[in-house]
Amino acid sequence: MKRLPKPDMKAEEVYVSCVSGVVTDAAKAHFQACAKDLLELSQQYDAWAASNELHLFRSSLRGNRKQVAAGGLTKGELTDLCTNHMVKQGQRARTYYDRLMLLAPHGKCPLCGFGQASTLDHFLSKALYPSFSVLPNNLVPCCSDCNRKKESTKLTIDNQIPHPYFESAIIENEVWLNVSLKETTPTTAMYFVNVPIGWSDAMAVRVRNYFHGLNLASRFSVEAASEIISLSDFLAQLGTDQHIGNYLERMAKTERALHKNTWKAALYEALAGSIWYRSGGWHR
Ligand SMILES: [Zn+2]
């Protein structure tokens, strides 16, 4: 997972911009009257996200658009505010949506690292936490696959995942993603999480939940499979086992230095460390 810089926009300005698109005066006044309550909740969101305690928010019930979510606003009103005034093309607040999408590093999904970022994910789902429907710190750019796999579930202390805007830098600075190789032709990369010594149990749980919840073992393995095929043709041109070993080691070092926990970094480290692969396992 790639951590992202927090959105450079205030919760209040995004909310005001969304509300400015509401058509009827009565509905607009209702949103304006509830602004204070919502903004207080957004401050609580920042505090609890920073301490990994977002599960302390009470979730709404599924369905039932009429249930009151925050300050007298219903779940339906809050989710529609997002859909009709932030997501919809041509609306004034759409500019914030587009700016949030630009936070995706090189247009890539920060969750899987290889998909194209194409949507904004509600970190706390708007179906269960409608109060955060248009809160910028709750909106994370990601690819459609990750968005689909990230289920709209009630957050508990046990099912938390890392928050790209709030997670500690440790998740990027220490290696936790590894590969073991199946000694077949061509080889298959099997991804697993190996939590570093010294991590808190809570952090280990977050990373494991993220890895399993987004089905990354299988999705990384698919990315690795095409890399392994083209790599095989390239290695054939290098000639000696020594040259092949040197190349794999250089790639492993370079990829781990770039980003420690990408599918590619873990793959090259495993390939470089495998005597079997270096001495002929690379043939296809
Ligand atoms: Zn993704």
- Digitized pLDDT (tens) for each residue of the chain, 284 residues in all: 999 999 999 999 999 999 999 989 999 999 999 999 999 999 999 999 999 999 999 999 888 899 998 888 999 999 999 999 999 999 999 999 999 999 999 999 999 999 999 999 999 999 999 999 999 999 999 999 999 998 778 999 999 999 999 999 999 999 999 999 999 999 999 999 999 999 999 999 999 999 999 999 999 999 999 999 999 999 999 989 999 999 999 999 999 999 999 999 999 999 999 999 999 989 87
List of residues 6+ apart from 55 with CB closer than 8 A: 155, 156, 157, 160
195 Cα: distance to centroid of ligand 1 (angstroms): 22
174 Cα: distance to centroid of ligand 1 (angstroms): 21
* pLDDT for the residue numbered 150: 84
235 Cα: distance to centroid of ligand 1 (angstroms): 30
2 Cα: distance to centroid of ligand 1 (angstroms): 11
* pLDDT for the residue numbered 114: 96
Q: Is the dihedral of CA 118, 121, 127, 130 positive or negative?
A: negative
pTM above 0.85, yes or no: yes
Residue the block writes with tokens 């207080």:
40
143 Cα: distance to centroid of ligand 1 (angstroms): 4
134 Cα: distance to centroid of ligand 1 (angstroms): 21
CA 94 to chain CA mean position, Å: 21
Other CB atoms within 10 A of residue 9 CB: 15
110 Cα: distance to centroid of ligand 1 (angstroms): 7
- The two tokens of residue 220 are 């990384």
149 Cα: distance to centroid of ligand 1 (angstroms): 9
To the nearest 10°, the Cα dihedral for 158, 161, 166, 170? 100
141 Cα: distance to centroid of ligand 1 (angstroms): 9
Distances (CA, A) of 182 to 187, 195, 222, 231, 271: 6, 22, 14, 16, 11
CA distance 191 to 78: 40
- The two tokens of residue 11 are 């919760």
CB of 129 closer than 8 Å to CB of 135? no
8 Cα: distance to centroid of ligand 1 (angstroms): 22
Residue the block writes with tokens 């794999």:
248
137 Cα: distance to centroid of ligand 1 (angstroms): 18
State the helix-helix crossing angle for 11-20 and 94-101, rounded to 10 degrees: 140
CA distance 268 to 258: 13
